[in-house]
Amino acid sequence: MAGHGEVRIPFGALQRVAEAVLTRAGSEPGEARVVAEHLVRANLAGHDSHGVGMIPYYVRFVGEGLLRPNTPARLLADEGSILRFEGARGYGQRVAREAIAAGIERCRALGVSVVTLRHAHHVGRVGTYGEQAAEAGLVSLHWVNVQDHPPLMAPFRGSDARFGTNPVCVTIPRPGREGPILLDMATSRIALGKVRVLMNKGEPVPPEHLIDHQGRPTRDPGVMFRQERRGALLPIGEHKGYGLALVAELLAGVLSGGGTIQPAIPRKGAIVNNLFSVLLDPGRFGDPEWMRAEIDAMVAYAKASPPADPDEPVLVAGEPERLAAAERKRHGIPVDAVTWEEILEAGERVGLGRGEAESLAGLGSGGG
């Protein structure tokens, strides 16, 4: 059932809409498919912040020349175990996928590889790259920093934004099990896209996640979307989350050569990501059977902790996303009314008629 003010769209249909808009915005079909699939899978995983709601921004950034369709990842340097790539403001979902694919091949050959990617446009949900490596049987670690965009997150003890929401991701494959351990998190207490989703739904942000332009606590998601007097997100875990954001900033920003968010680097207003990834072949570290059994035993041990709330059993990282995907595959992906309208408008701007988009989405006239 669709909730009030939202449409529910089957994931295949939503992907067709996304591909149609991206193709009209200038992407070759292969690129449109990769980007659309990434976005819709983020929705499936429950991360609407990194799903199709980004399309209107991408269309605008393409129009402004800040996001460049049909740009592949370019190899800057091959140092054996280290591969360095340039993203040149291409779709991050594409260039990061290509860079990680090269890293997977290298890791298979050497047992370890390190991939850097600089100047990609928004790489989206970082867990996608963890999944890509896990599907190849590899462990992976990823750090990302954000540039081009105004800073969003305050340092611990600060009162204004000086960082992006710098995500960190660690993925451990579990062959033969339902899916990998997939820790994929922003270092802010809440991702900006989730603040946007709450603003679109007219709902407040949970307490102690946001400060206003004067550093005072607020629950108003609107403070993050003002041109002037913008508020800031707070880091997870006080000084510890701030520390994680700082090392993501430096690993991804400095080792990639792309730079950090410090103000001497120009900001044009889109979203540029730099990525630092380490891939490891677990087969080179010991007996795969023993590893598999030990991971199973540890996961079972953690999950057997009696839940503090009987309705909320202990989960492991990656499980909430799998549960969301199972539900959304069955019942469709909920898209709030504001986001759906923005997608339709973005489509119209690049020549995709409203009726055509609605029919691709399987929505009759009036939708819902």
Query: Would you tell me which residues interact with ligand NAD (CB under 6 A)?
Result: 47, 49-50, 122-127, 144, 146, 165, 167, 169, 182-186, 191, 194, 273, 315-318, 320-321
Answer for the pair 362, 9: CB distance below 8 angstroms, yes or no: yes
Closest to ligand NAD by CB, 82 vs 183, is 183
To ligand NAD, the closest distance from the beta carbon of 360 in angstroms equals 26
Greatest CA span in the chain, whole angstroms?
59
DSSP count for the chain of H helices, then E strands: 11, 12
d(C-alpha 242, C-alpha 228), whole Å? 24
Q: Assess contact for 96 and 74: CB atoms under 8 A.
A: no
Cβ-based nearer residue to ligand NAD, 89 or 122: 122
The Cβ-side half-sphere exposure at 327, using a 13 Å CA radius, reads 12
**Distance of closest approach, residue 92 Cβ to ligand NAD, in angstroms:** 7
Report the nearest approach of ligand NAD to the CB of residue 364 (Å). 33
Tell me whether residue 257 or residue 362 sits nearer to ligand NAD (CB atom). 257
Beta carbon of residue 323, minimum distance to ligand NAD (angstroms, whole number): 10
The minimum distance between CB 304 and ligand NAD, in angstroms, equals 14
| Pairwise CA distance, residues 285 & 290, whole Å | 11
Q: Which amino acid is at 115?
A: V
Give the shortest CB-198-to-ligand NAD separation in angstroms: 12
Strand, coil or helix: 310: coil
Per-residue b or e along 147-175, where b marks 16 or more CB atoms closer than 10 Å to that residue's CB: bbbebbbbbeebeebbbbbbbbbbbbbbe
Which letter does DSSP use for residue 92 in this model?
A: H
Q: How far is the CB of 46 from ligand NAD (least distance, A)?
A: 7
* Residue with token string 């460049």: 68
Name the minimum Å distance from CB 130 to ligand NAD. 9
Least distance between ligand NAD and beta carbon 321 (Å)? 5
- Strand runs labelled E in the chain: 6-9, 74-78, 82-86, 112-121, 139-147, 168-172, 181-185, 210-211, 217-218, 232-233, 272-280, 333-336
- R_g of the chain computed on alpha carbons: 20
Return the number of the residue (257 or 320) whose C-beta is nearest ligand NAD. 320
- Indicate the residue among 50 and 118 with the shorter CB distance to ligand NAD: 50
**Closer to ligand NAD by Cβ: residue 48 or 358:** 48
CB nearer to ligand NAD: pick between 49 and 339 = 49
**H or E element that contains 213:** none
Q: Which is nearer to ligand NAD, 34 or 126 (CB)?
A: 126
Helix axes 319-331, 29-44, angle to 10 degrees: 110
Residue number with CB closer to ligand NAD (320 or 362): 320
* 215 in Cβ contact with 258 (< 8 Å): no
Sign of torsion over alpha carbons 208, 211, 214, 220:
negative
CB atoms within 10 A of CB 368: 10
